[in-house]
Structure 1
Amino acid sequence: MTSTSSPPGGPRLRTAVAGLPSYVPGRSAETALTAALASNESHFPPLPSVADVITTEAGRIHRYPNMASEELREAIALHFAVSTDEVAVGPGSSGVLQQILSAVCDPEDEVMFAWRSFEAYPILAAVAGATPVRVPLLSDEQHDLDAMAAAVTDRTRVIILCSPNNPTGVSLDPASMEDFLSRVPSRVLVVIDEAYIEFQDEPGDVDTLDLYRRYPHVCILRTFSKAYGLAGLRVGYAIARVPVAEGLRRTAIPFGVNRLGQSAAVASLAADDEIRARVSEVRTERRRMIAALRAAGWTVTDSQANFFWLRCRDEVREQVLSALADANILARGYQGDGVRISLADHDTNERVLAVLSKRERFGDQ
């Protein structure tokens, strides 16, 4: 039997790494009948135009990709009317965030974020040697921007704002953002993580590009994994001031975004009309699902993402997850907080409603 313990005097993990919790991904579908609604993936198949590019590029995978991802950075820059030098890319938005923290944080610096939010934040902060600082959400699931601004210390280097927030689906309040950014020192990088921004449709939502142009310490973080449906290819990007973006490129893993990912992302940006049509379908289903759940007696946030959130007691969380599993539906539970369920096609969403409409099966939320 092979021992997993280190011999005396052998290599040992950093204390911060040894104490890290494991990132828990959403479970994948085990059979064709299973509805995998735990990872917020796109339920649409790849666009034909994107699939064609991937097929062509597959014949070149014996060659390294462009290390600087120049064509992709140029396409992103054109899409958002920024310069190529303001764009950095990486393996998913999580990979780009790791580049950000590596570029900005020294040991024992602080990385602040709302909680609950994306569970990778505290892990990536600790890996960078920084101290994660969690600021509780408000009772309406909004970021408590006043509390976050007040929690800034001399050690604060990065503040991450997730909008729409994962897992609650709530977007940042535009009325509060101006005051917040004016209160946060310019030495602190404010990263607005917009992994789900394409699904947002509320009027008056935060215009992060406008904020970016007016506040030099704002950085925008986005991904091709969600609305663009490239989760399996891992492509994310940041828009930041040139010195910061250059730092992100320097801390990137060489050739971190592969040939297929770069080409597929460029093709996806060119298919903007088709992506918008798919996003519109998700928004329509989201409105329908939230209305139906509220009619059934559930308290549901005004999600702006491709999922909805049920904040509930642990007992109810377990009951909901069990009832969904009995119906071959996988959802994501968060101990102490609630359940997140990804949106899918109409028929699959109906399967979810068939379970949750029996509200009497579950206790008080």
Structure 2
Amino acid sequence: MTAVTDGLVLRLASHADHEWIYRLRHEVYAPELGQHAPNAAGWLTDDLDKDNVYIVAADQDRPVGFISITPAWASRYSIDKYLHRQEHPTLREDESGLFEIRILTVDPSRRGVMTGKLLMYAALRWVMAQGGRTIVALGRVELLPMYLALGLTSTGVPVCSGAVDFELLTGEVADLTDRTLRKYGPLLRDVRPRLRWELEVPFWPEMESCDHGGASIEALGRRFDTLTAHRDIVPADVLDAWFPPAPAVLAALTDDQEWILRTSPPARATGLIEEIAVRRNLPQGAVTVGAGSSDLIYRTFGSWLDTSSRVLLVDPSYGEYAHVVERVIGCRADRFCLRREQGWRVDLDRFADRLRGRYDLVVIVNPNNPTGVHLDAGELREVLTQAPGGTRFWIDEAYVGYSGLGQSLERYAANSGNTVVCTSLSKMYALSGLRAAYLTAPPQIAAGLRRWTAPWVVSLPAQIAAVRALRDPDYYTARWAQTVLLRAELAASLATIDEDLQVHESVANFVLLTLPRGGPSATRLVEQCRRHGVFLRDLSPLSAAFEGRTLRIAVRDASANARTAATVADALRGLQRTP
């Protein structure tokens, strides 16, 4: 079986492939299957081809099969010719992560071997890398066993097209990936060395953790052997502060460095909690701390949710929430979808209507990462107050300092019955390497979460640094204001590269760069820039709303920002010259 895969190439179709694709489509779906009437040109195309993505399997340089994908951003699918999506819950109109797999076609000489299954796997990997969550397909009845073996589920809805009978199939991308790796993992490992995998996505998916930025730190060596090389790269793929911690922070950590490193911290971080309460005018009983936001997310969600829970997430938003809800806990997550053409704005009237669906937990990141849009605290508070009883809200305010600390809902949360605010001290206070964060919640909720907090969860260096940082608001306010100026300069520099680029300036410490349709993908631009030491964040895996062409670029200092803009410009010129 593996011998027939030797030398097989899997890649995105080139312009030169399309003539062969259209001819094979005609050969198979007209004379052979009778789905379409034969035509004199011997070509078969349809009006979705301009939106479709084709993946080709080639034996050396000779194409031997293909599969077509209609992406979510096409906003229309071939299934629309046969059924009404609103009648099928998994295909609802507001589902921004729906991709259609179409016309899997293999040359007669390659049928019965691995070619078709590898094309299906390649399509699944590509969809996952574009933020796809749900797959729909029309499966030929005679091939149903293969589709079902790959994990797709038949809805039992029959579709007839010409002389061919189909059934409507669906599948969740994460579930399909899990099932594929469990069932075919050993076979894929055996086949992988014999393939030329030329897709822009990795052959193996990352299933155990959420996709994050951070390739820039990985570039320094996994065992930290080349840390000094950090001066040679621009880590614009992560939202760590570009500025150093306050001088008092550095002095406190440096003066007694040896003692700090060998000494156990206060088990319950009581002093840090006291400092937070004083600086934020909060009751101490409403505060609990953690080793960064992720620690608090995992701990809280794990105690609040189970597989029967219903959660509402904003999409796009910080990917850790979807990962914890769907992959770790395994419960249902609905999406409130944002649109690029609406400036990624959250329509609070529409959002309030959505809350009538009665969710166990609603997650709002404000300002939102990665869209960079901020909701006014007063308007958001009104939505929270009027929400149906029994709904809990989790408000992530990791970047609220850029909107002004007066926009925080911490005090509201401390006196509410349904709201928790998560505040990171990592990004805003230049303490990402130390990991410190806190929750503000009604005292009874905070007390419950403290019971699930391990002793010594926040290290001694982190506790000392956080206390000193909170005592110097003037230093950080000045740095945040400087960040706004640097952000504007970076956005302006990027905008001058090409008039077809879209630059969206967030309210936080990053900008979004969207590439034109039909040009290089975000993945290719990120890879090209990395070769020159500039690391950017490809947002494609986070959400299909980014259409595979949006990057997030963190604000660094003026020199690094200038290098970023120049590298992006050079990379785009090089990619435009590449066929």
Give TM-score, length-normalised by structure 1: 0.84
Deviates more, 1:36-45 or 1:104-113: 104-113
Structure 2 counterpart of 1:344: 556
Distance in 2, Cα, partners of 1:300 & 1:216? 40
Structure 1 counterpart of 2:343: 140
Kept in 2, the 8 Å contact 1:135–1:144? The answer is no
Distance in 2, Cα, partners of 1:240 & 1:322? 42
Partner amino acid, structure 2, of 1:140: G
Kept in 1, the 8 Å contact 2:299–2:452? The answer is yes
From 229, 250, 258, the equivalent of 1:51 is: 250
1:115 paired with 2:320, answer: no
1:353 paired with 2:565, answer: yes
Kept in 2, the 8 Å contact 1:109–1:155? The answer is no
Partner amino acid, structure 2, of 1:50: V
CA deviation profile, 1:273-318 (whole Å, cap 9, x unmatched): 2122222221110122223334543322230111111244694313
Partner amino acid, structure 2, of 1:347: S
Kept in 2, the 8 Å contact 1:285–1:343? The answer is yes
Q: What are structure 1's unaligned runs of at least 5 residues?
A: 1-14
Kept in 2, the 8 Å contact 1:283–1:306? The answer is yes
Q: How far off is 1:80 after superposition?
A: 1.0
**Does the C-alpha gap of structure 1 residues 132 and 91 become closer, same or farther in structure 2, counting only changes over 3 Å?**
farther
Structure 2 counterpart of 1:4: none
Q: CA RMSD of the aligned region, Å?
A: 3.0
Kept in 2, the 8 Å contact 1:75–1:266? The answer is yes
Structure 2 counterpart of 1:38: 237
Residues paired across the two proteins, number: 347
**Does the C-alpha gap of structure 1 residues 354 and 62 become closer, same or farther in structure 2, counting only changes over 3 Å?**
closer
Deviates more, 1:90-99 or 1:286-295: 286-295
1:93 paired with 2:293, answer: yes
SS, match of residue 301 in structure 1:
strand
1:264 paired with 2:469, answer: no
CA deviation profile, 1:104-137 (whole Å, cap 9, x unmatched): 2233212221111111101222424533332211
**Does the C-alpha gap of structure 1 residues 114 and 23 become closer, same or farther in structure 2, counting only changes over 3 Å?**
same
**Does the C-alpha gap of structure 1 residues 215 and 294 become closer, same or farther in structure 2, counting only changes over 3 Å?**
farther
From 323, 331, 334, the equivalent of 2:536 is: 331
Partner amino acid, structure 2, of 1:199: Y
1:245 paired with 2:449, answer: no
Structure 1 counterpart of 2:400: 197
Partner amino acid, structure 1, of 2:552: R
Distance in 2, Cα, partners of 1:96 & 1:57? 27
Partner amino acid, structure 1, of 2:237: A
SS, match of residue 504 in structure 2:
coil
Distance in 1, Cα, partners of 2:568 & 2:378? 34
Distance in 1, Cα, partners of 2:331 & 2:356? 13
Structure with max Cα Rg: 2
Distance in 1, Cα, partners of 2:281 & 2:503? 36
Partner amino acid, structure 2, of 1:190: F
Deviates more, 1:114-123 or 1:172-181: 172-181
**Does the C-alpha gap of structure 1 residues 358 and 211 become closer, same or farther in structure 2, counting only changes over 3 Å?**
farther
Structure 2 counterpart of 1:158: 361
Kept in 2, the 8 Å contact 1:93–1:235? The answer is yes
1:66 paired with 2:66, answer: no
1:273 paired with 2:460, answer: no
1:23 paired with 2:210, answer: yes
CA deviation profile, 1:339-364 (whole Å, cap 9, x unmatched): 1111100001011222345697478x
Kept in 2, the 8 Å contact 1:102–1:251? The answer is no
**Does the C-alpha gap of structure 1 residues 21 and 86 become closer, same or farther in structure 2, counting only changes over 3 Å?**
same
Kept in 2, the 8 Å contact 1:321–1:333? The answer is yes
Q: What are structure 2's unaligned runs of at least 5 residues?
A: 1-174, 180-206, 221-228
More strand by share: 2
**Does the C-alpha gap of structure 1 residues 263 and 83 become closer, same or farther in structure 2, counting only changes over 3 Å?**
same
Structure 1 counterpart of 2:527: 322
